Structure 1
Amino acid sequence: MKRRNLLMAGLLPGLGVAQAQPRVVSVGGAVTETVFLLGAQGQLAGVDTTSLFPLDATRLPQVGYARTLSAEGVLALSPQLLLASGEAGPPQVLEQLRRAGVRVEVLDEHHRFDGIVERTRRIGTLCGREREAQQAVAGLQQAWAARPRPPAGASPRVLFVLAHAGGQLRVAGEGTAADAMITLAGARNALAGVSGYKPLTAEAALQAAPDVILCTSQGLEAQGGADGLLRAPGLALTPAGRARRVASMEALLLLGFTPRLPQAVAELTGKLHGRSA
């Protein structure tokens, strides 16, 4: 009887039964965060390792890193639906899952607030949570409209440095999440005219001449704090380096384009313009 009730609720794979609330594997921190926002976490069979918020997401079975999924790891959790960010892959694994009968839905916000709204509505439809999605979208739009605006006329040059322990430092050009966030916070990307991520060189740093150096809090910690980061090629000689203007934010909040985007933009605006968010 219990299994029958779960089947009717759409929480277990059924035998030809239409699933209003399917069993889900979520891949991508922002996707998983949206599932929780809609109250659909009870449908989650598992998540990937980038699903770090809320904390309860980290307690679910994991299927590995978003970019390097294995079909076997996902299928072991018997999902009916895979919700994936645009970074999920590799493509052949997603195709294997489709052939195995798993519905695969790739959701990308394209680094836009409107994209987050669209993704929220889509996940609501796919998870049978349309009403919850409608309420969530209303809350998002209200928070977005109420976010603080940057000071008039201020537009600091910001260089985002992607840092990992033991890895080569890279800087963010156009078409990246960092570039989009810098723009939303009323600042200018110091690496304008360059696409994607490029290795940090002393020449690139000096030419960029940033007023602020931005990185993730995890990356800053990996470099040993501001002192360690400013030992990287050229950074100490930039206007930001000489003034020791180094800002950081938690990686998923800063770059994830999650439902917390209004909060993220407010916080970043405060950091880049020298005031509390």
Structure 2
Amino acid sequence: MGERGWLAFALVASLTACALGSSAERVVSLAPALTRMVVDVGAGDRLVGVAEHDAAAPEGVVVVGSMMAIDRERLIAVRPDLMVHMGVMGATGGHLEMVARRTGCSVVGLGYPEGVGDVLRLVARYPDEAERVTVGSLVDREAAAVALRRSLEGRLAAVAERVAGVDRPRVLLVFGVEPVAASGPGTVLDEMLALAGGRNALGEAGGPYQVLDQELLRKVSPEAVLLLLPNAPELVAGDARLVPWERSGTPAWREGRVWLLNHPEVLLPSTRMVEVVELMARRLHPALFEAGASDE
């Protein structure tokens, strides 16, 4: 997507206490993906508030509600000078503006990334790129953010090089099992799968998120299934999460290629996505990552 849209809006409710050109010292992150970026660029100690169910939040950071229901009093109590969120906030945005007026802080909205490159550009800006707000610039960690982006790009390139030329199985990226819900084309997960040496079983048609019944599962007929379920317990014999695949009798089930990826941040479009790409590649192409496998 490049520069289109993903950072197209920055809602600045108030610049009284914290102009965008200065560094935020007390940050509230209302998106777990942004929380992870703040932590990974070395500014986790500046987080004073997060939304609930934030797997990336450092221990002890105050929970100020959810994306749908902000606790305004708790938010005011943590005295933020910057509140940052991802995507469109809807009605919740009005609550943030009210808190911003009361506290004199800034509210910055960053567009939801549509690809791996968008995620990396959200972390840091290289000197030859157009001016834009990044997580690194917001917390005055631009050098660390640039170094992090280069490291992540290097790791992704290493995976892509290792799987170059391999037979790419048709993989269903499942993030819900009752009903079966899968990630389609044009998503961050779809691009991550391609980097890991797979093809999306949903092809290039349909929406980014699709629900599949048994008939559709048989039609899609994936050769492998990745269950992307954060912190889920390991699969066991008779596991209810395996029932849809057993019933559908797809190649993935017949060949024993239904796998769980339970990385805590497996669904976050953030800096830990590189770990997930590496896990995907090891599952899909284990022989390429065995001890002693050639790096050439």
Identity %: 26
Q: TM-score, normalised by structure 2?
A: 0.74
The CA distance in 1 between the partners of 2:211 and 2:243, in whole Å, is 15
Does residue 52 in structure 1 map to residue 51 in structure 2?
no
Paired with 2:30 and 2:91, the residues of 1 have a C-alpha distance of 16
Which whole-Å deviations, capped at 9, do the CAs of 1:124-175 have from their partners, x for residues lacking one? 11112223223322323333333353251411011122226xx533233223
1:161 aligns with 2:174: yes
Matches within 5 A, 1:1-277: 20-53=23-56, 57-86=58-87, 89=89, 91-101=90-100, 102-108=105-111, 110-121=113-124, 122-148=134-160, 149-163=162-176, 167-192=178-203, 193-218=205-230, 221=233, 227-232=239-244, 235-250=247-262, 252-275=264-287, 277=289
Give the C-alpha shift of residue 207 in structure 1.
Answer: 0.3
Could you say what secondary structure the match of 1:257 adopts? coil
Measured in 1, the distance between the counterparts of 2:237 and 2:59 equals 26
Counterpart Cα distance in 2 of 1:201 and 1:179: 20
| Distance in 2 of aligned mates of 1:212 and 1:239 | 7
> Which of the pair has the greater relative contact order for Cα pairs under 8 Å at 6+ separation?
2
Distance 1:246 1:276, change over 3 A: farther
The alpha-carbon deviation at position 228 of structure 1 amounts to 2.1
Which amino acid counterpart does residue 198 of structure 2 have in structure 1?
A
Quick check: 2:136–2:144 contact (8 Å CA) kept in 1?
yes
SS of corresponding position for 1:171: strand
CA distance in 2 between partners of 1:236 and 1:80 (Å): 52
Could you say what secondary structure the match of 1:41 adopts? helix
Kept in 2: contact 1:147–1:263 (CA 8 A): no
CA distance in 2, matches of 1:80, 1:17: 6
SS in 1 for 2:167: coil
Q: Contact 1:50–1:66 (CA<8 Å) still a contact in 2?
A: no
| Distance verdict in 2 for CA 1:114–1:134, change over 3 Å | same
183 and 70 in structure 1: CA distance in 2 versus 1, 3 angstrom threshold:
farther
Residue 91 of structure 2 aligns with an amino acid whose one-letter code is Q
Q: In the aligned structure 1, how far is the partner of 2:231 from the partner of 2:17? A: 48
Residue by residue over 1:177-197, the C-alpha shift from the partner in whole angstroms, topping out at 9 and shown as x without a partner, is 432322222211111212132
Letter in 1 for 2:96: L
Q: Is the 8 A contact 2:116 2:188 kept in 1?
A: no
- Decide which structure has greater helix share: 1
Q: Which amino acid aligns with 2:175?
A: L
Residues in 1 aligned to 2:18 and 2:184: alpha-carbon distance in whole angstroms: 48
Structure 1 portions without partners, runs of 5+: 1-14
Instruction: Give SS of 2:163's match.
Output: coil
- How far is 1:215 from its partner? 0.9
